[in-house]
Amino acid sequence: MNIYGVTLEELSDYFEKHGEKKFKAVQIYDWLYKKRVKTFDEMSNIKKEVIQRLKQDFSLNIPAIVKKQSGKDVYKYLIKLKDGNHIEAVVMIHNYGNSLCVSSQVGCNMGCTFCESGRCKKKRNLDTYEMVSQILLIEEDLKIRISHVVLMGIGEPFDNYDNVMKFINIINNGKGIDIGARHITISTCGIVPKIREFALSKLQVNLAISLHAPNDELRNKLMKINKVYKLEDIIESVKFYIKKTNRRVTFEYIMLKDVNDTSKHALELANLLKGLNAYVNLIPYNETSHINFKKTSHDKVMQFYDILRKNKINVTVRKEFGSEVSAACGQLRTKEEEK
């Protein structure tokens, strides 16, 4: 078992089971996540016999960075996993901190027509340690602290629910990487049962819904998940989430030229979200050679924005990153896999 996929509670239970004091787990976490040692032998305040047992039962091996691209305020990484598969992680430098977009799966089965990741079907879920490793690798490479994490990389986080919840537990723990819950965001394309389960988790983590269309007819064409969970189902699950958590929900809306960006679409979206404790994040599209969708012009994005504002919908336009890199989610990985 890889130790970077073990929660503090699980590690405490492990030591208790082996007749050791539970506080040993806190000491190990300190070495792993505060001091960032690479071997068990460096843990100088741990008894030799305990070190030997840890070596027998746990691995410290993590994936490797194989490619890095950079642009203005953005770094994109291609990471090679132990089994030879590749994932991506993206760092975005904001005035409020450093945000890391984390992948949760190798490939994705959601099949959204505008998404590069969806072209490569899901091969497997990422283990918890493989998600934690993305933070460790990039903090070491850039010599920065990651202050915000968004699960918006390759994969659908709620399709890997248990490992994602463990990942959040580890990075949120004050003895671990110590990223505040309100600085962590999970994005889902709308797996309704998991939205409801997440609402009961009592986590203060942010929820984002990848919406991208204001009606079922269009969303069916763009996102095949909508054939399973209609917009009405998603909105009801979001209302349940807000009722249980009293937290605001983000609706992500990628602007696709002549597809979902008209005034009519903006009015439909305003009506759909009316009265919800939510806001819309309008996202400029990152074009890719494999997919025919085009980016909506800035002027038209702002017209859409103005219509939502006039209809009392809270809305922002996401800062654009990545014009100098393979910006579309999954694009760098696809290039590597197609070689």
What is the β-pairing status of strands 249-255 and 206-210?
parallel
- The answer to whether 205 touches 185, Cβ cutoff 8 Å, is yes
From CA 336, how far away is CA 200, in angstroms rounded?
A: 39
Whether 320 sits among the annotated catalytic residues: the reply is no
Work out whether strand 148-151 and strand 97-101 pair parallel, antiparallel, or are unpaired. Answer: parallel
* All residues at 6 or more sequence positions from 10 whose CB lies less than 8 Å from its CB, including other chains: none
**Choice among 101, 108, 115, 329 that is catalytic:** 329
CB environment 41-65: b (16+ within 10 A), e (fewer): eebeebeeebbebbeeebeeebbee
Active-site residue (options: 88, 116, 130, 156): 88
Q: How far apart are CA 158 and CA 186, in angstroms?
A: 8
Q: Mark whether 88 is an active-site residue.
A: yes
Kindly list the catalytic residues. 88, 329
